[in-house]
Structure 1
Amino acid sequence: MVGAGLAGLHCATQLARAGHQVLLAERRPTLTGTVRTTGIFVRRTLEDFALPEEHLGPVIRRMVLYPPGLTGPVALTSDRDEYRVGDMGPLYVAAARDAVRAGVDLRLATRFTGLREGTYLLEDAAGPLPVRARFVVGADGARSRVARELGLSRNTRLLMGAEEVFPDPDPRVEPTFHCVVDPRVAPGYLAWVLRDGEHVHVGTAGHATRFPRGLYSALRDFSARAPGLEGVPRPASVEKRAGPIPVGGVLPRIAAPDGLLVGDAAGAVSPLTAGGLDPCLRLSGHAAAVLDEALRAGRVDALECYDGHALRARFRKRLLLRKGLDGLRTPALATSAFAVLRTPPGQALARRILFGNGSFPLP
């Protein structure tokens, strides 16, 4: 297993609990050192997976959507607990603890460098570390080296995102997720302020080549006028996060005779909302079940049911909506889209997308 993010840790733990020998290689020396995701867990994830309560923020039921001028926003409130933000560093540590207890051999500061004649090449501080294994699982992010080595599909449609995070303990705050549709600060996506009474997340994402003055300039511009931050003291030092976000849907070919891909490496991210935590957990569990069957039966063809084409077919509507969001290239177009969003059908569609019962579609 290459990559100890949420996808790699979950898949490795499931395989170890099934009785298989698993080595999990992670290039970072610590799991808390670099966090790239906002860590938003949706209702279906919270309902279906046992996440440590102590590492989850307050419940969020309210979302506010803004046009470019920030006037005439559309507020949506759910009668259910829709979102919670995870403290991802401690969540990774807790998941790693579970993995090790299950029997996973976790190797930090260990890089995957390639595949040669059936041997997987790793490298740590002591030097090369060749490993013989029946399968390799790529959980190594949007730009997966495992995918390249196995000749599998690779992400080509990527957004780049960046955000700043700082503490804001205030029990009087109504936890709210603010989203701004403005191609000047988030071309092809959204800028956001998430304030839950414990932390503030301020970020933006979009197509890297379409930021007029670059991603970080767009984030600075947005932070200076972002909604929901009135009266919030900003500390001198904030946590900064950044990384690529695949939005092309599940990749067509995510399995080969020697292994498979999970998480961002498999493109398991919603093309529209860019939510990836629910897909990574569900697809990782599916991957573990497929590998368990292949190992127990000694049949490599068991991996054929781990089919990116079949999964991708479930994303047609979301891919179509992704094209629509990509097409909002001017503030005028984005403002016009809000005229539709303010109608009852527009709000019904927004509620279905943001508060719906759907989750990552498995076979």
Structure 2
Amino acid sequence: MESVDVLVVGAGLAGLHTARRVAERGLAVLVVDRRASLSTGIRTTGIFVRRTLDDFDVPDHLLGPGVRDVLLYPPSRRSPVRLVSDRDEYRVADMAGVYAHARRSAEAAGATVRLGVRFAGLDAGLARFAGAEPLAVRFVVGADGARSRVARELGLDVNRRLLVGAELVHPIAPGGGPPAFHCVLDPRVAPGYLGWVIDDGRHAHVGVAGYPAAMRVGVRHLLDRFAADAPGVAAVAGPVERRGGPIPVGGVLRRLACPRGLLVGDAAGAVSPLTAGGLDPCLRMSDLAAGVVVEFLRTGDERVLRRYDGGALRSRFRGRLLLRRAFAGIRSPLVAEAAVASLRGRAGRAAAARVLFGDRSFPDVAPTGRSSATRWADVQP
């Protein structure tokens, strides 16, 4: 029977990044994903914030132009609040390319990646798969999304507070003006969150997200309604791709690890509860998780797992959770109009800029991206 030190379930950014970090330290790592191709089933817009790009080596050729302008619209779409940074705050990535590059990086470090393999459960040190032989494993990393099967198999916490999002990707004409991030606060199409338009230099990403219980007509219907007159869209053709999926916004889960495994990425709730951004915390928590996995397997000391304590991580963002509750309570267009109007003054604009252009990361876990022996930028296509 085949055996590995670490099985990573899920070949998204969190899973591949964790696998690479663990494999760099000499352990045998296998990554499995039920998708046959990493270019299918993409759920994220792929917005990287400045702090992530400062700390991690995301290949520049996979990133669109820098975005410095953010426009915040009320439901009426009139008189948006415009925030302008003197630095590039966002860049939208070609996520299919990012996943392919992350896979090559993991494999260059020694990990094995197998696609089209569906994880079916755990049983006394064995991992089971649909239609395949079981595998002996020492440790399992759950990187299998917001509704994690691994979390349930390990008896760890699961995400309870979820938004559901959907997005259309439209080609745009080349040579347009500088890209901007358009955000619409309108509970009629995005209850508890917002609608957005942002471009990556080649495509416009048009999306909405909100609480499913409040989306009575369905997220796809609301997305089509929003896209019909969304601000900032300069599409030259119909959508070439639809994306969507659940977004955990309850914060990092409290119980993330046990002697049999741990959770990373969306499975761990590693998404900002306020902005619903997940790429930055995904990379930072994956770095932390990889170090914990390696030390635990080498020492057998269960106290090592306490370093990956969700309760301690949650304590660092109580303010974000409170703001998430306030955001979720905006269900009236009139209240949304008033909320955007409150941002027009100096104090309101400063508060909005602090959220949208802030230097703090979530969670505040020191990255090891630039000191790693194998950086993303060192692995060529």
Hey, what's the Cα distance between the residues in 2 that align with 1:233 and 1:40? 19
Question: Does 2:25 correspond to 1:18?
Answer: yes
Alpha-carbon RMSD across the aligned residues, in angstroms, is: 1.1
| Residues in 2 aligned to 1:299 and 1:43: alpha-carbon distance in whole angstroms | 37
Deviates more, 1:86-95 or 1:290-299: 290-299
1:38 counterpart letter in structure 2: T
CA distance in 2, matches of 1:336, 1:79: 28
Q: What TM-score, normalized to structure 1?
A: 0.96
Letter in 1 for 2:354: R
- Give me the whole-angstrom Cα distance separating, in 2, the residues matched to 1:190 and 1:236: 22
Give the drift of 1:101.
1.2
**What is aligned with 2:378?**
none
Q: Deviations over 1:205-226 (max 9, x none)?
A: 0011112422111111111111
Residue 193 of structure 1 aligns with which residue? 197
Query: Which residue does the alignment assign to 1:88?
Result: 95
Tell me how far 1:296 sits from its aligned partner.
2.0
Secondary structure in 2 aligned to 1:314? helix
In the alignment, structure 1 residue 158 sits paired with structure 2 residue 165: no
**Residue number among 303, 318, 332 corresponding to 1:316 in the alignment:** 318
Question: Aligned runs of 1:1-363 on 2, under 5 Å?
Answer: 1-123=8-130, 127-229=131-233, 232-362=234-364
- Give, in whole Å, the separation in 2 of the partners of 1:102 and 1:84: 27
- Answer whether contact 2:68 2:180 (CA < 8 A) is retained: yes
Structure 1 runs (4+) greater than 4 angstroms displaced: none
Counterpart residue number, 2:376: none
Residue deviations 1:104-145, cap 9 Å, x none?
01111111110112211123xxx2321111110000000000
Matches of 1:174 and 1:99, distance apart in 2: 34
Report the Cα offset of residue 148 of structure 1: 0.2
Q: 1-side partners of 2:364 and 2:23: how far apart?
A: 22
Question: One-letter code of the match for 1:267?
Answer: G
Q: CA deviation at 1:196?
A: 4.2
Assess if the C-alpha contact under 8 Å between 2:172 and 2:237 holds in 1: no
Distance of 1:45 and 1:167 partners within structure 2: 26
Could you tell me which amino acid in structure 1 is paired with residue 12 of structure 2? G
- Tell me, in whole angstroms, the C-alpha distance in 2 between the residues paired with 1:214 and 1:237: 19
Task: Report the Cα offset of residue 237 of structure 1.
Answer: 4.5
Aligned in 2, Cα 1:7/1:329: closer, same or farther, shift over 3 Å? same
**Residue 236 to residue 180, structure 1, CA distance change in 2 (3 Å):** closer
Give the whole-Å Cα distance in 2 for the aligned partners of 1:329 and 1:243: 22
Task: Provide the C-alpha distance between the structure 2 equivalents of 1:53 and 1:297, rounded to a whole number of angstroms.
Answer: 38
TM-score, normalization by structure 2: 0.92
- Secondary structure of the equivalent of 1:350? helix
- Contact 1:155–1:267 under 8 Å retained in 2: yes
Once residues 109 and 155 of structure 1 are traced to their aligned partners in structure 2, the CA distance between those partners, rounded to angstroms, is 25
Separation (CA, whole Å) in 1 of partners of 2:236 and 2:219: 20
Q: Structure 1, residues 28-47: CA drift from partner, whole Å, max 9, x if none?
A: 01111221100000001000
State the 1:362 CA deviation. 3.8
Distance in 2 (alpha carbons) for counterparts of 1:179 and 1:53: 25
Unaligned runs of 5+ in 1: none
1:188 is paired with a residue whose SS is coil
CA distance in 1, matches of 2:189, 2:162: 16
Output the CA distance in 2 between the equivalents of 1:94 and 1:181: 35
Cα distance in structure 1, aligned partners of 2:173 and 2:163:
31
CA drift of 1:172 comes to: 3.0
TM superposition shift of 1:297: 1.8
Note the residue ranges of structure 2 that are not aligned, 5 or more in a row. 1-7, 366-381
Deviation of 1:99 (Å): 0.8
